[in-house]
Amino acid sequence: MSDEMDIDGVGRLLAPDIVESIDAKRTADVLAAFSELQDAEVAVVLEELDDSRRIVAMRLLPRARAAEVFAYLDHDLKEQIITGLSDDVAAQIFNEMDPDDRIDFFEEAEDDLAQSLLKRMRPAERKETEYLLEYPEESVGREMTPDFLKIQPEWTVQQALDHIRAHGAKAESLDTLYVTDKNNRLINHLRLRRLVLADPNDRVESLLKTTRTTVRINAMADREELVTKMEEYDLPVLPVVDEKDELVGIVTFDDVADVAEEEVTEDMHKMGGLEALDEPYMAASIPTLVRKRGIWLAVLFIGEMFTASAMSLFEHQIAEAIVLALFLPLIISSGGNSGSQATSLIIRAMALGEVTIADWWEVARRELICGLLLGALLGLIGLLRVQLWQWLGLADYTKDYFLVGLTVSISLVGVVTLGTLVGSMLPLILRRLRLDPASVSAPFVATIVDVCGLLIYFGVATVMLGL
Amino acid sequence: MSDEMDIDGVGRLLAPDIVESIDAKRTADVLAAFSELQDAEVAVVLEELDDSRRIVAMRLLPRARAAEVFAYLDHDLKEQIITGLSDDVAAQIFNEMDPDDRIDFFEEAEDDLAQSLLKRMRPAERKETEYLLEYPEESVGREMTPDFLKIQPEWTVQQALDHIRAHGAKAESLDTLYVTDKNNRLINHLRLRRLVLADPNDRVESLLKTTRTTVRINAMADREELVTKMEEYDLPVLPVVDEKDELVGIVTFDDVADVAEEEVTEDMHKMGGLEALDEPYMAASIPTLVRKRGIWLAVLFIGEMFTASAMSLFEHQIAEAIVLALFLPLIISSGGNSGSQATSLIIRAMALGEVTIADWWEVARRELICGLLLGALLGLIGLLRVQLWQWLGLADYTKDYFLVGLTVSISLVGVVTLGTLVGSMLPLILRRLRLDPASVSAPFVATIVDVCGLLIYFGVATVMLGL
C-alpha cells in the first residue's frame, strides 16, 4: 500500500468541516471547500453527509457541477436527493447532465418520478432522453451519448479546428472526431492529436487512413459486446451506428468500465450460486436477498435430493459397514471441490475468449489427466490418513481397516476425476445449448458429481469389502 | 447478439487469403491485406497462422506496425515470434515499441532472451527499458510509459500547440497534457480539448483549474491502486510521480483495463478454490494446472478430514438409525451452498467498496435473518419430501418417518443459518487479519460449515429420535 490517501479517506476527512459550514449557513465556505475537490471527491463527501445536509449541499452547488457530481453517486442516494430537492431544481440539474448519465438514473427510477422529471426538463433534453429510452434495456443505445462532434472530409484542418472551437464545448469526448458523409454515414475517424499535429492547411481527408474501416458498434447490440470490442481494440471511444450505418452516438471508456464491472459482478454472483444482484449489497432489501438466493438454493436442494435416493440403494452396505458412512462427507466434498475448480477455470477462460466450444476435446484431454493426478494425490493422502489414525489408535476403522483405506483412496481417484471432467465439460455443453454457463453450471455440476460420487464410493466398497 | 462479426471471426475469415499470399511469396498482397486491418485484427490473423508463416508475416510488416501489432499478442506467441526472427530484426521491432508494452514482454521473458535483446536495442530504448525494470514487480512503475508531453504554465496556447506539433508524435497519449514547474514537479493538467477550444493568445496558466489538485499516483504504489483510482475518478490517463512529486510517466486506460482483467481473473480463480493462474488456460502446462489446483484441493481435503473425526462420534447413532445417513449429503451440501452464496456476495461487495469491516454488525444482522428464512424454506421442502416419499411408498424412512422428516427439517434451518453466517463473517474477519479474503475464505467456510453441520444434524437427531 502507498502512503497516499484513497478517495474515501478524502471524503471522511473533509466531511466534518463541511458539516460545520452547512450548519452555520456559511455558503461561501461550502462552495470554496467543494471547489478544491474533484467531482468524484465531492460525491464521496456527499455520501458521508446525512440526508438533510446532503440536500442542502446539492442545492448550493452550481447546477452544472451538481450534474457532474450526481453521476458518481449510487442510485439510492440519487433518488434520495432528487426526491428531497424541489422538482424544478431537480429538473435543472437533469438538464445539465450528460445524456448517458441521465439515462442511468431513468433506467432504475420509479415511473412516477421519471415522468414528473421529464415533464419539467427543457424540451431538447426531454426529447433526447425519451429517444434514448426507446432503445432496449442492456443495449448499446442505452449506454451511448448523442453529444459528439462530426467533421467533413473536405474541410481543412483549420476549418475543423474552428468548428471544434465553436461547437466542441458540449461534446462528451473530443479525443476522437468522426468523419461522416452527407447522409451522416460514418466514413472514418481522426484522433484530435492528429489534427493538432497536422499542418492547418491540409485537408481532413488527406489525414485519414483510407484503407482501414473505423471500428463501430450497432446501437441495438448487447452492451456486453461494448466491453469486448473496446478491450480488444484498446479504444477509449467507440462510435455507435444504426442499421443504416448512420452515426447516432458515442460510448466512452468510463461508461464501459461501469458496464464491465456490473458484468463481472453478475458472473461472480452466478458462480457463487445465486441470481445476480443488480444493486449494492447494503442497498438490497432482505426480501430481495432471500429471493435471489432462495431460488438457486432450492434448485440445488432439489437436485441434491437425488443423493438421498442414491444412498437408499446402499442402506444394506452402510448397515454392514458403518465405517463407510464416516468418509462420506470427505469423498463428496472432494468431488465438489475439484468440480468447482474446473468450472471456475473454464468459465473464466471462456469469458476471456481463451477457450471456445471447438476446444472441447483438448480441454477434456487436459482435464482427464489433471483429474487423475489430483485424484491420485488426494487418494494417497486419504490412504495415509486411514492407516495413520488406525496405527495411532485415534480411530477404529474395523479389522478391515486397510481395505477401508483402499476403498477411500480408489474412490477419491474416481470422484476427483469425475468432478474435474464434469466441471470442465458442463460449461462448454451449456454454451453449446446457448444457455449461460455461469448461471447453470454450479447446480448441475454439484448434483451430478454428488450422485455419481456416491455410486462410485459404494460401488468400490461393495467390491473391496465384499458387501 | 448483433449480426456484426467479432474480431476472431475477422481473423478466421482473412487468414486463408493471407496464407495463400505468403506461400506464393506475394509480399505486396500480404501488406495490402494487413493495411486494411486494425492492429488488433492483424494480431488475430497472426494467431490463426502456423508458426513459420507467422514469422514470415511479422518479418514483412513495417517495423513500427509490427511493434504495434506485437502488443496485442499473448506472451507465448510473442516469445515464439522473437525466437523465430533474427536477433537484429527482433531488436528493431523492440526499438519501435511503446515502453510499457516492451516491459510487459521483458517481465515474463527468460533472462537470456531479455539480455540478448537488450544488448541489440538502440541505447536510448535500452536505457529506458532498464530504468523501468528497476521498479518492483506489480508496481505502478512497471505499467507506465515515460513518453509523455509536458507544458509550461507561462506559455501561450499557441506556443503549447506548436510544442505539441513539434514533439507530440511519439507521446503515447496527448489527450491530457501535464503542466510542470522548473523542477519537473507536477503542478496541474490540461485536457487537449481545452487547449484546442481556447483562444490561441491565452496563457496556459489562465486555463488551469488552480483550486483542484491533479489526481496522481506514486510509481512505487501497488498496481491494484491504479485500477481503483482511474475508475473512481473516471480518468483515461493518470500521471505517475516519484517521491519528490516529479512527473516520471503516465498510465493509459488500456493498460489499466489489462491489469483490471488480470485482477478479476485472480479473484475468480481464488473463489473457485485454486491458486490464480497467471496465463491463459490453454497455454498453462499440465504440471502448472495440477500444482495450482492441487495445493488448495489438498488443503481443503485435510480440512474436511475433520468431518471423518466428527462422524466417528456418532457411529452409534448411525448404527441405530441407518436412515440418518441417507440425508447426510443433502444436509452438508445445503450448508456449503448457502455458505458459498454468502461468501461470493460479501467478497464482491468488499472488492467494490460497498461493504467494509466497519459494517460487520449490520452484515451479521442481515445474514442472520436471510439465513433463517432460507433455512426455513429448505426445511419446509425437506419435510414435504420425506412425508411425500413415505406416503407414495417411494422410500421407507422407518416407522418414525415423521420424526426423521422433522430432524432433517430442523437441521436444515440450523445448517443453512450457520452457513450463511460463517460465509458472510469469515471474509470480514480475514480482511481484519490482513489476509486475502478471496483466497482463504472457501476452504475455511467449507470445513467449518461441514463439521458444524454434522454436529447440528446428529445433535438434533439424538434429541428427536431419542438415540
Domain housing A169: 150-252
A409 CA to chain B: closest CA distance, Å?
12
CA distance A235 to B38: 11
Residue whose C-alpha cell reads 436444515 in the numeric block: B412
Residue contact B254–A268, C-beta within 8 A? no
Taking the C-alpha atoms of residue B91 and residue B97, their distance in angstroms, rounded to an integer, is: 10
Looking at the fold, whether A333 and A434 belong to one and the same domain comes out as yes
Decide if A168 and B338 are in contact by the 8 Å CB cutoff: no
Under an 8 A CB cutoff, do A329 and B330 touch?
no
- Indicate if A405 and A317 belong to the same structural domain: yes
Q: Kindly state whether residues A21 and A95 are assigned to the same domain.
A: yes
Residue B259 lies in a domain: no
CA nearest neighbour of A126 among A101, A148, A94: A94
What local confidence, expressed as pLDDT, does residue B412 receive? Answer: 96
User: Where does a domain end: B114, B137, B160?
Assistant: B137
**A164 CA: distance to closest CA in chain B (Å):** 7
Q: How far is A332 from chain B (nearest CA, A)?
A: 7
Measured between beta carbons, which residues in chain A are less than 8 angstroms from residue B215?
38
CATH, residue B242 = 3.10.580.10
Three cell numbers, residue A390: 488406525
Contacts of A323 in chain B (CB under 8 A): 315
Q: Do A116 and A35 reside in the same domain of the chain?
A: yes
Least CB–CB distance from B272: residue in A296, A323, A345: A345
Q: Which three cell numbers stand for residue A90?
A: 431537480
For residue A268, tell me if it sits in a domain.
no
Question: Of B36, B341, B353, which is closest to A273 when you measure between CB atoms?
Answer: B341
Model pLDDT, residue B1: 34
- Residue B273 covered by a domain: no
> Which chain A residue's Cα is nearest to B321?
A319
pLDDT score of A1: 34
Where chain B has pLDDT below 50, the residues are 1-4
Q: What are the grid coordinates assigned to A294, written together? A: 432462495
Contact A274 B161 (CB under 8 A): no
Contact A192 B196 (CB under 8 A): yes
If asked whether residues A122 and A188 sit together in one domain, one would say: no
All residues of chain B having their beta carbon less than 8 Å from the beta carbon of residue A423 are none
3-state secondary structure of B79: helix
A96 shares its domain with A215: no
Of B281, B304, B345, Cβ closest to residue A281: B345
Q: In this structure, is residue A286 part of a structural domain?
A: no
Gap between the Cα atoms of B89 and B93, Å rounded = 6
Same domain, A414 and A322: yes
- Does A7 contact B273 at a Cβ distance shorter than 8 Å? no
SS in 3 state form for chain A?
CCCCCCHHHHHHHHHHHHHHHHHCCCHHHHHHHHHCCCHHHHHHHHHHCCHHHHHHHHHHCCHHHHHHHHCCCCHHHHHHHHHHCCHHHHHHHHHHCCHHHHHHHHHHCCHHHHHHHHHHCCHHHHHHHHHHHCCCCCEHHHHCECCCCEECCCCEHHHHHHHHHHHCCCCCCCCEEEEECCCCEEEEEEEHHHHHHCCCCCEHHHHCCCCCCCCCEECCCEHHHHHHHHHHHCCCEEEEECCCCEEEEEEEHHHHHHHHHHHHHHHHHHHCCCCCCCCCHHHCCHHHHHHHHHHHHHHHHHHHHHHHHHHHCCHHHHHHCCHHHHCHHHHHHHHHHHHHHHHHHHHHHHHCCCCCHHHHHHHHHHHHHHHHHHHHHHHHHHHHHHHHHHHHCCCCCCCCHHHHHHHHHHHHHHHHHHHHHHHHHHHHHHHHCCCCHHHHHHHHHHHHHHHHHHHHHHHHHHHHHCC
Contacts A273 to B, Cβ<8 Å: 337, 340-341, 344
Residues of B in contact with A341 (CB under 8 A): 272-274, 293, 296-297
Please state the length of chain B. 467
The CATH number given to whatever domain includes residue A65 is 1.25.60.10
pLDDT in tens, A383-397: 999 999 999 988 888
Last residue within a domain, chosen from B80, B102, B137: B137
CA distance B76 to B51: 11
- Alpha-carbon distance B328 to A308, whole Å? 8
Distance from CA of B112 to the nearest CA of A (A): 28
Q: Torsions phi, psi of A164, nearest 5?
A: -65, -45
Predicted local confidence at residue A12, as pLDDT: 72
Residue A143 lies in a domain: no
A297 with B211: Cβ contact below 8 A: no
Task: Answer yes or no: do A450 and B257 touch at CB < 8 A.
Answer: no
Contact A298, B377 (CB under 8 A): yes
Is the residue at A195 inside a domain? yes
DSSP B222: B
| Residue-averaged pLDDT of chain B | 88
pLDDT computed for residue B2 by the predictor: 37
Q: Using a CB-CB distance cutoff of 8 angstroms, which residues of chain A are in contact with residue B5?
A: none
The ipTM is: 0.77
Kindly state the cell numbers that stand for A37.
475537490
Examine residue A282 and state whether it is found in any structural domain, yes or no: no
Neighboring chain B residues of A282 at a CB cutoff of 8 Å: 349, 354-355, 359, 362
Query: Is A226 in the same domain as A362?
Result: no
Residue among A177, A204, A203 nearest A192 (CA) = A177
Instruction: Please state the pTM of the whole predicted model.
Output: 0.77
Domain boundary among B137, B166, B196: B137
Residue type, A220: M
Residue among A365, A263, A317 at smallest CA distance from A465: A317
Q: What is the mean pLDDT of each run of 10 residues along chain A (467 residues)?
A: 57 79 89 88 89 91 91 88 89 90 87 88 91 90 88 91 82 82 89 84 86 87 86 87 92 83 85 84 90 91 90 89 91 92 91 88 95 96 93 87 94 96 94 84 84 94 89
Q: Which of A282, A298, A340 is facing B354, going by the closest CB pair?
A: A282
Residue with C-alpha cell 426507446?
A: A134
Q: Which helix (H) or strand (E) holds B250?
A: strand B247-252
Find the closest chain B residue to A176 by CA distance: B175
Residues A430 and A333 in one domain: yes
Q: Which of A269, A322, A381 sits opposite B315 (nearest CB)?
A: A322
Examine the domain organization and report whether B133 and B154 are in the same domain.
no
Nearest to B109 by CA among B78, B63, B132: B78
pLDDT of residue A75: 84
* Angstrom distances, CA of residue A163 to CA of A149, A174, B101, B308: 9, 12, 36, 77
If asked whether residues A300 and A377 sit together in one domain, one would say yes
Which residues pair with residue A156 across a beta bridge?
A203
A374 and B290 within 8 Å at the Cβ level: the answer is: yes
Residue among A318, A180, A284 at smallest CA distance from B354: A284
Please check whether residues B130 and B231 belong to one and the same domain: no
Helix A39-48 with A7-23: angle, nearest 10 deg: 60
* Residues B168, A193: C-beta atoms closer than 8 Å: yes
Measured between CA atoms, how close is A116 to chain B, in angstroms? 30
CATH of the domain at B318: 1.10.357.20
Q: Work out how many domains chain B is built from and give that number.
A: 3
- How far, in Å, are A301, A310, A458 from residue A314 at the CA level? 21, 7, 7
Contacts of B254 in chain A (CB under 8 A): 234, 236
Q: Is residue B258 domain-resident?
A: no
Of B193, B305, B446, Cβ closest to residue A385: B305
Residues of A in contact with B326 (CB under 8 A): 308, 311-312, 315
Is B329 in contact with A334 (Cβ distance < 8 A)? no
| Nearest C-alpha in A relative to B446 | A333
Q: Which of A236, A168, A207 is nearest to B196 (CA)?
A: A168
Question: From the CA of B116, how many Å to the nearest CA of chain A?
Answer: 30
In angstroms, the separation between the Cα of residue A242 and the nearest Cα of chain B is 12
Q: Where are the alpha helices (DSSP H) in B2-74?
A: 7-23, 27-35, 39-48, 51-60, 63-70
CA torsion A181-A184-A188-A193 (nearest 10°) is 100
Cβ-defined contact of A2 to B382 (cutoff 8 Å): no
